[in-house]
Amino acid sequence: MEAAKKIQPLLIEWRRHLHQQPEIGGEVPETAAFVAERLREMGLTVREKVGGFGVVGLLEGSYPGRTLAIRADMDALPVTEETGLPFASKHPGRMHACGHDGHTAILLGTAKILAAQRERLKGKVKFIFQPAEEGPGGAKPMIEDGALSNPPVEAIIGLHLGVIWDLPPGTVGVRPGPMMASTDRFEIRIKGKGGHGAMPHQTVDAVVVGAQVVTALQTIVSRRVDPLEPAVVTVGSLHAGSTFNVIADTAVLQGTVRCFQEALREKIRREIEMIARGVAAGMGAEATVDYLPGHPPLINDPNFTEFFAGVARDILGEKRVVTLPYPTMGGEDMSYFLNAVPGTYFFLASGNPAKGIVYPHHHPKFDIDEDVLWLGTALFAETAWRWLGNAPQFSPGPEPAGD
């Protein structure tokens, strides 16, 4: 805790530097170079261009032991910033509107603290800096390129900053089991027969067929899924037609599916295909369905989650570690890492109404309370230290009054 507090100014400096230079998707060369340079300064072995522009730093302790990975995402969003911050994005149309600048700074701080303890450290720590979390997905390519190998990782941990669950700043939210949903996409193309708007009997109206398909798809969750099983089927767009008096021959629907169970994920895919084709055929049209599997559900390992929660309670006190009452239907490709090895993904609340930091992720006014950065670093570092078999770095005292 004390080591994390001491480097808080550096964490803020790193975060603000990254915030001003956001990069999108998998193309994050400047961010990756910045991270790699900092890791080398700390004496870590660094591998660059892992699965694209991913960076992996390896810290080897002086004593043999297990290997833990800690992951942070690095990419920004195609959003024009409206925060008015003195360190706002220098690139219109690009912004760190999801807290990844904070994630990266926190993990760099963790590496700095643990590297300073190398002579006493058991085992190894891999620091995984991932691009393309916002799309198209960077975790899977990094895993395929050996991010979890040589040496093999035995557990992994990651965090997310923000205001998803209404928690006070500096509060940790944990949840064993399902934490975030799958993120599948679909596109349905309706082919009818166009014609004059005054003579509908000579046509097969793709707009009407598309509207019926949208309505019918809503029965999947309401009538074909167990009401105790969370699921979402959303049609986000319907495009058809070109003018007011022409009946469209084509309509294109796009949407997303969110759930937590692989069997249900497959069931909903089948239902979408059946309903779209059936409704279209019943109205004299044809429907083709392109179903695009996204990230799998994010499932936290119960044992590792409870281990981390115990560390967090020691650092923050019982009241500031909360078991989240429900998961979110948002998605995260950290799920690929957690499918490969056990671990946990936790939430660190970084909203602060007293400072006007209340905007949700992906909003042009999104910001984080920088006062929680050192907490993220302390949580990562102490968890790694203890999980690798080292004695606790401190004896928990009274619950801290604040940050």
Q: Return the active site residues.
A: 75, 133
Q: How far is CA 128 from CA 82, 169, 299, 378, in A?
A: 30, 26, 19, 17
Distance between CA atoms of residues 70 and 300, nearest Å: 14
What is the chain's length? 403
Distance between CA atoms of residues 112 and 124, nearest Å: 14
Contacts (Cβ under 8 Å, ≥6 apart) of 99: 160, 161, 162, 350, 361, 366, 368
Q: How far is CA 244 from CA 209, 247, 351, in A?
A: 17, 8, 46
337 φ/ψ sector (left φ>0, alpha ψ -120 to 50, else beta): alpha
41 φ/ψ angles, rounded to the nearest 5 degrees:
-60, -30
- Cβ contact 246:197 at 8 Å: yes
- Which residue blocks in 224-340 are alpha helix, DSSP H? 262-282, 302-316, 334-340
**Among positive and negative, which fits the CA dihedral 368, 374, 377, 378?**
negative
